[in-house]
Chains A and B, each alone.
Chain A
């Protein structure tokens, strides 16, 4: 009887698939893709605005950073690299003292707007980075 029951269970009658079910699933999925796409665009726009706002708040500190900008050029980097090869210890000490100098310059100017600016720039940067790391190859991630 169990064999017969198994046989019957494998042959249980089933309801016909509603004709419009597959088109309805497709329509719902397309609406979902559209929503995800615009959420993603909106999210990126929000983060870009946040980063832009942060940069705007940092304007007064641009002078300090500009002093350091020449050091970040390719020529400056090459000079630093050759200095490192010639005198590793001296170059390292110089680099550390330079970083301390920049830190002191910035900390002297540290205020609420600067902190806010760092948050406004740091948050999108972190989220973009996380998104890049989590995103499987080829598929656009939904950041927000």
Chain B
């Protein structure tokens, strides 16, 4: 069980009391994480950037309704997921085209050069596969692995039961596993 980040909660409290400076600081601190989550959900970088901006504007408007429970990033993710849903409704299907090449440095835990290369290739293939998952599966992956949220928090964020979160995650991982085992990067849908 993680504890909410009290620094960020304090900034949110101050922002709620009218401090635009505190809100600006929150933007500086949380935008990198928010972008990572949103980028995993969005169809391209431009849409992700627009979603991040819209999320912050909506968060500012929703500040009076913010209650001190859970991680501020989970609250932002809820707003971002709702905005992304609206975007998906307007424009479907979503094309996940342009995530950058994987960073090979991230795979340094593998012992030998061959394993490292294989690990990096798996990461690259997996990233491609995730981009091609259905939006709800991609969102669950983003919230679980990019935002690091617990199942309960994901359920709250997406407005669905915890069991549905588990189902989405299980199905997403099954599709990803089959794709990795088959060595195919165009499996899911």
Residues of A within 8 A of B (CB): 1-2, 5, 8-18, 21-22, 24-26, 28-30, 32-33, 136-141
Find A13's partner among B20, B31, B52, B106 (CB 8 Å cutoff).
B106
How far is it, in angstroms, between the C-alpha of A16 and the C-alpha of B99 when the chains are bound?
A: 10
Chain B binding surface, main DSSP class: helix
Are A13 and B177 interface neighbours, CB within 8 A? no
Find B126's partner among A8, A16, A21 (CB 8 Å cutoff).
A8
Find A139's partner among B18, B103, B181 (CB 8 Å cutoff).
B18
Name B130's closest neighbour in chain A (CB-CB): A12
- Number of B residues near A (Cβ < 8 Å) is 47
Which of the 9-residue segments B35-43, B79-87, B153-161 touches chain A? Answer: B35-43
14 A-B pairs (CB sep. < 8 Å): A9-B145, A11-B123, A14-B40, A17-B31, A17-B35, A18-B35, A21-B49, A22-B27, A25-B31, A29-B20, A29-B24, A29-B60, A32-B57, A140-B18
Are B18 and A138 interface neighbours, CB within 8 A? yes
Name A30's closest neighbour in chain B (CB-CB): B20
Find B20's partner among A14, A16, A33 (CB 8 Å cutoff).
A33
Are B28 and A139 interface neighbours, CB within 8 A? no
How far is the CB of B2 from the nearest CB of chain A, in Å?
Answer: 15
Find B27's partner among A9, A26, A32, A139 (CB 8 Å cutoff).
A26
Q: Which residues of A contact B63 (CB under 8 A)?
A: 139
- Sample of 14 further A-B pairs with CB below 8 A, known A5-B180, A12-B126, A15-B39: A1-B181, A9-B173, A11-B107, A12-B102, A13-B101, A13-B124, A21-B49, A24-B49, A29-B27, A29-B56, A30-B20, A33-B20, A137-B17, A138-B18
